[in-house]
Structure 1
Amino acid sequence: MSTYGEAVVVPPLALAWVRRQLDAGERIVGSDVLHGGITAEMRRLTIRTRDGGTRRLVLRSFVERSHVEHAEDALNREADALTGLAATDVPAPGLVAVDPTAAHCEYPSLLMTHLPGRTVLTDAGLENRVHRLARRLVAIHALRPAVRPPEFTALTTADTVVTPQCADAAVWAAAIDVIRRPRPSYEGRFLHRDFQPGNVLFDVASADPARARITGVVDWASVSWGPADLDVAHCSAVLALLHGPAWGLRFSRAYEEADGVLAATESERLYWRVRDALACSEEVPQVVRPWREAGRLELTARVVEERLDAYVVALMGGALR
């Protein structure tokens, strides 16, 4: 979400809409693409302030037809989340304006403040980042908004799972059977629903990657109410694909070490972990592209599928004994 790209022209209606949100005497002097997103186009806008300084905003626009139909709900969720988060210590963007139905812009859009820092997807300093990610997620789950966001949805079913060609078929069949079971009961929490390294910004100015601190959490378009296990499972699965299965298993332990509370029984925990891991099977081509754009060229679809299979095998290891 913070890999900067080439200069880009902002569509005219969106440009006029953004200008109406600026303070008197301010003007847009530059724009460039923020790479790393999957569902929306992201543009970083440089604003010249009245006193000659600069500030930056981010314009998020749902452009692809397959995503536009969900844009109104996503942008309203994000706008509500950013409004509520402004009164907390969670480092989230500030809401400037939202046009969820494209009443003013070419596409449904949201304008927000720009946060410092960058996403970090490399292996260097990973142990430190895993602990910081876990502590930040515990803090997010501790929030109690005045108005609860919508209940979470989980779209993956036993029929939509895409079993990789390299997979252990017997293990995957057993994993699919896990998500056929009734959903466990849970205590609701405030969920980000896409909390993972690609949506967390770090201060990487220090030469020592072990000292990198979190400067922002972005992409709140899927904010929901549901089990803490679901957010933990998602971040675990992404870490497994980015860095290897052991890191996926490590994150859930780091979450508990940070005083996070997960489901009471192993079978309940397994349900959520397996559900999110299997959901990743449907998205391998989509997640590989931004990772490779960020420099992880070794992460081909085949490599990611092999890591996903190894992670599912590791999750199911105890259940199959």
Structure 2
Amino acid sequence: MTDHDEAATVRPLTLAWVSRHLKAGERIVRTEALRGGITAEMRRLTIGTRDGRTRDLVLRSFVDPFYVEHAADWLNREAGALPLLAGTGVPAPELVAVDPTAAQCEHPSLLMTHLVGRTVLDDEAVETRIPLLARQLVAIHAMRPAERPREYVALTTADTVVVPKGADEAAWAAAIDVIRNPAPPYEGRFLHRDFQPGNVLFDVPPARPTGARITGVVDWAATSWGPSDLDVAHCSTNLALLHGPAWGLRFAEAYEEAGGMLAEAASERLYWQVRDGLACSEEVQQVTQPWREAGRTELTTRAVEERLDAYVTALMDTLG
């Protein structure tokens, strides 16, 4: 077995665990670290088959002590969600094995199939990708599993919001007042709960970026049951920070154009959109680091804070 780099090295107990879940005659021939994750280490494992071919698997391992505390819940939710997605038309990995409590591995881990494609975070052809993202999210929300995942959790409160330096204080004060109110009533849907460009894989023809198509949706560790507005708001926030506030506002429109249903009242839509925008204020640095590693070096923490301020202000102007 060869490593692509030192970060790709799989620890001995985990390596043995993976090997036990391979088919007869298969072996790991190569490992490669996958970049862009925040909570877990991700590796692509190339598997040599008996007939001389290869196939790829993906190993997710929670190593950071802060995230290990939540690993069992996240991995159990992902392990429960992936089989539900099989055969639905939602392009998701297939579950191979899971060790949520590190009973056999050095760290809590999940093994799944590898999907072709790549994340696309740059500005080129964003107007083409947004309708694709919207249609994909509508398909996810249309799922009606026999057993619902757990109810969504939203941890941000009016007291935990971090107002960026130099932000529009009046707009932020008004936005914070919005989430002091109880959550509006909603019709529950199957939620990805972290649906955003960093968790969607595309096939993009090199000579024709407008011909992009979605090949996969990954990271189902936060699967929940809740309002479709919450998933839409999360993707909207990420698009606003990646590409500018106008694209965040555009995504909600694209979702409805694709047949998705959002809250009827503007005040209710505002609640969910603002809640996610304000939640991002607490973790701008964590969000922006993988974007810079992926090549968006101009998205410094300060630059993204300024976009977040502009987006929250635009929400209050548009829906407030």
Report TM bin, short chain. over 0.9
Read off the aligned partner of 2:72 and give its amino acid letter: E
Contact 1:206–1:212, Cα closer than 8 Å, also in 2: no
1:235-274 aligned within 5 A = 235-274=235-274
Contact 2:205–2:211, Cα closer than 8 Å, also in 1: no
Q: Deviations over 1:141-198 (max 9, x none)?
A: 0000111000000000001100000211111011000000111000000000000000
What's 1:122 paired with? 122
What's 2:291 paired with? 291
What's 2:211 paired with? 211
Output the CA distance in 2 between the equivalents of 1:6 and 1:261: 46
Output the CA distance in 1 between the equivalents of 2:204 and 2:247: 21
For residue 318 of structure 1, report the CA deviation from its aligned partner. 3.9
1:143-158 aligned within 5 A = 143-158=143-158
What's 1:75 paired with? 75
Residue 234 (structure 2) pairs with residue 234 (structure 1): yes
Q: Deviations over 1:199-218 (max 9, x none)?
A: 00000244211101000000
Read off the aligned partner of 1:172 and give its amino acid letter: W
For residue 298 of structure 1, report the CA deviation from its aligned partner. 0.3
Q: Figure out how many residues of one structure are paired with residues of the other and give that number.
A: 317
C-alpha distance 318-203 of structure 1, shift in aligned 2 (>3 A): closer
Contact 1:14–1:104, Cα closer than 8 Å, also in 2: yes
Residue 220 (structure 2) pairs with residue 220 (structure 1): yes
Read off the aligned partner of 1:196 and give its amino acid letter: Q
Residue 107 (structure 2) pairs with residue 98 (structure 1): no
Output the CA distance in 2 between the equivalents of 1:171 and 1:84: 41
Contact 1:7–1:33, Cα closer than 8 Å, also in 2: yes
Output the CA distance in 1 between the equivalents of 2:17 and 2:319: 54
What's 1:59 paired with? 59
Contact 1:7–1:31, Cα closer than 8 Å, also in 2: no
SS of alignment partner, residue 260 of structure 1: coil
Contact 1:43–1:58, Cα closer than 8 Å, also in 2: yes
What's 1:86 paired with? 86
SS of alignment partner, residue 69 of structure 1: helix
Read off the aligned partner of 2:193 and give its amino acid letter: R
For residue 7 of structure 1, report the CA deviation from its aligned partner. 6.0
What's 1:22 paired with? 22
Contact 1:229–1:272, Cα closer than 8 Å, also in 2: yes
Residue 125 (structure 2) pairs with residue 142 (structure 1): no
Output the CA distance in 2 between the equivalents of 1:311 and 1:293: 23
Output the CA distance in 2 between the equivalents of 1:87 and 1:128: 26
Contact 2:79–2:98, Cα closer than 8 Å, also in 1: yes
Unmatched tracts of structure 2, length 5 or more: none
Contact 2:164–2:305, Cα closer than 8 Å, also in 1: yes
SS of alignment partner, residue 296 of structure 1: coil
For residue 88 of structure 1, report the CA deviation from its aligned partner. 0.8
Read off the aligned partner of 2:65 and give its amino acid letter: R
Query: How does the TM-score come out when normalised to structure 1?
Result: 0.97
Output the CA distance in 1 between the equivalents of 2:292 and 2:153: 29
Output the CA distance in 2 between the equivalents of 1:231 and 1:224: 10
Contact 1:149–1:223, Cα closer than 8 Å, also in 2: yes
What's 2:202 paired with? 202
What's 2:131 paired with? 131
SS of alignment partner, residue 225 of structure 1: strand
What's 1:314 paired with? 314
What's 2:183 paired with? 183
For residue 242 of structure 1, report the CA deviation from its aligned partner. 0.3
Identity %: 74
What's 1:165 paired with? 165
What's 1:111 paired with? 111
Read off the aligned partner of 1:232 and give its amino acid letter: V
Unmatched tracts of structure 1, length 5 or more: none
SS of alignment partner, residue 233 of structure 2: helix
Q: Deviations over 1:95-154 (max 9, x none)?
A: 000000100000000000000000000111111100000000000000001110000000
Output the CA distance in 1 between the equivalents of 2:83 and 2:313: 41
SS of alignment partner, residue 230 of structure 1: helix
Query: How does the TM-score come out when normalised to structure 2?
Result: 0.97
What's 1:8 paired with? 8
C-alpha distance 255-116 of structure 1, shift in aligned 2 (>3 A): same
For residue 65 of structure 1, report the CA deviation from its aligned partner. 0.6
Output the CA distance in 2 between the equivalents of 1:146 and 1:182: 29
